[in-house]
């Protein structure tokens, strides 16, 4: 059978952002800026670069500002045009190319990642889809030739029809904080894949099947929606994506894709600060000034 290409990405943005309070009391955490763009815009650009043309935001009340960010703002655009601020105008006008559609769906109550994905079932229909967690920024690494990992995963699906789960090696002492991939002891090269046999949620270091943590980027077959519909609430009364994927593995295969990029967890304060520094050091206008500032700081004891 012909493989349906992945064109839809679900981005769950209904979380409360409690780890980032008080900054997120009135502003959605997804709109906190990393250098000069909100976190969510970086993730949407990553999706568009991989050929996604339908972005599905799973949202809740109080998060309308996210939708507004991707809408046209005629008053602002007119002012900028009148003042001849063309560079700034381009930066706000071209966030979403004309061939890409952004759709919002409400998640009535927070019942877990699996439930958030399930909210998008009618829009996804019987198409394969991607899931991208907006807290996780994936920055292509210069050391690995700036490989775009998410594009790579989408391409692998388009070639093989095989579901893809992004993983990264984490230090042993951090294993207990993550969902860990069981790849049957296989060594996975960077930018390569191995068949996934199971996922273990936050195992102890000595019980972990590997040091490969699941990162927050998935490319999945349509069948996952049907499984989620039948998945019972698990830990914390929530419908867990991991439970549905374990069920999928009984009949289908999934690949663990080992990323070449560097990730930053913008859902916690330290990760968010690191992301700002890392992105700032890559920014054409800001890098030099930031470098000299950091060098100055480094001389302070």
Q: What is the pLDDT of residues 220-268, one digit of tens each?
A: 999 999 999 988 887 778 888 888 999 999 999 999 999 999 999 998 9
DSSP 8-state assignment for residue 61: T
- Per-residue model confidence as pLDDT tens for the chain (301 residues): 788 999 999 999 988 888 899 998 889 999 999 998 999 999 999 999 999 999 999 999 888 889 888 887 888 888 988 888 888 888 888 788 889 999 999 998 878 899 999 999 999 999 999 999 999 999 988 877 777 899 999 999 999 999 999 999 999 999 998 889 999 888 999 999 999 998 888 889 888 999 999 999 999 999 999 999 988 887 778 888 888 999 999 999 999 999 999 999 998 999 999 999 999 999 999 999 999 999 998 876 5
The C-alpha atoms of residue 46 and residue 48 are separated, in whole angstroms, by 6
pLDDT in tens, 43-69: 999 999 999 999 999 999 888 889 888
Rounded to two decimals, the pTM is: 0.92
Give the max Cα distance, the chain.
64
Is there a contact between 259 and 215 (Cβ–Cβ < 8 Å)? yes
């Amino acid at each position: 059978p012909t493989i349906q290409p992945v064109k839809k990405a679900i981005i769950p943005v209904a979380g409360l952002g409690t780890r980032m309070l008080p900054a997120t009391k009135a502003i959605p955490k997804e709109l906190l800026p990393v250098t000069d763009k909100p976190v969510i815009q970086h993730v949407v650009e990553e999706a568009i670069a991989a050929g996604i043309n339908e972005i599905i935001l799973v949202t809740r009340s109080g998060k309308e500002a996210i939708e507004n960010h991707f809408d046209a703002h005629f008053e602002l655009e007119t002012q900028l045009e009148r003042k001849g601020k063309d560079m700034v105008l381009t930066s706000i006008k071209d966030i979403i190319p004309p061939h890409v559609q952004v759709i919002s769906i409400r998640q009535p109550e927070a019942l877990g990642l699996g439930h958030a994905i399930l909210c998008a079932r009618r829009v996804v229909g019987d198409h394969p889809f991607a899931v991208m967690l907006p807290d996780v920024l994936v920055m292509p690494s210069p050391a690995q030739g700036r490989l775009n990992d998410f594009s790579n995963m989408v391409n692998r699906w388009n070639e093989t029809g095989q579901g893809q789960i992004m993983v990264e090696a984490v230090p042993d002492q951090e294993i207990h904080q993550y969902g860990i991939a069981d790849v049957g002891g296989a060594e996975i090269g960077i930018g390569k894949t191995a068949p996934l046999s199971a996922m273990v949620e936050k195992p102890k270091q000595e019980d972990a099947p590997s040091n490969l943590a699941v990162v927050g980027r998935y490319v999945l077959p349509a069948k996952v929606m049907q499984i989620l519909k039948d998945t019972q609430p698990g830990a914390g009364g929530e419908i867990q994506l991991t439970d549905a994927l374990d069920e999928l593995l009984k009949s289908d295969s999934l690949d663990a894709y080992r990323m070449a990029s560097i990730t930053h967890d913008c859902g916690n304060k330290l990760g968010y600060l690191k992301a700002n520094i890392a992105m700032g050091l890559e920014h054409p206008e800001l890098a030099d000034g930031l470098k000299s500032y950091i060098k100055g700081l480094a001389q302070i004891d």
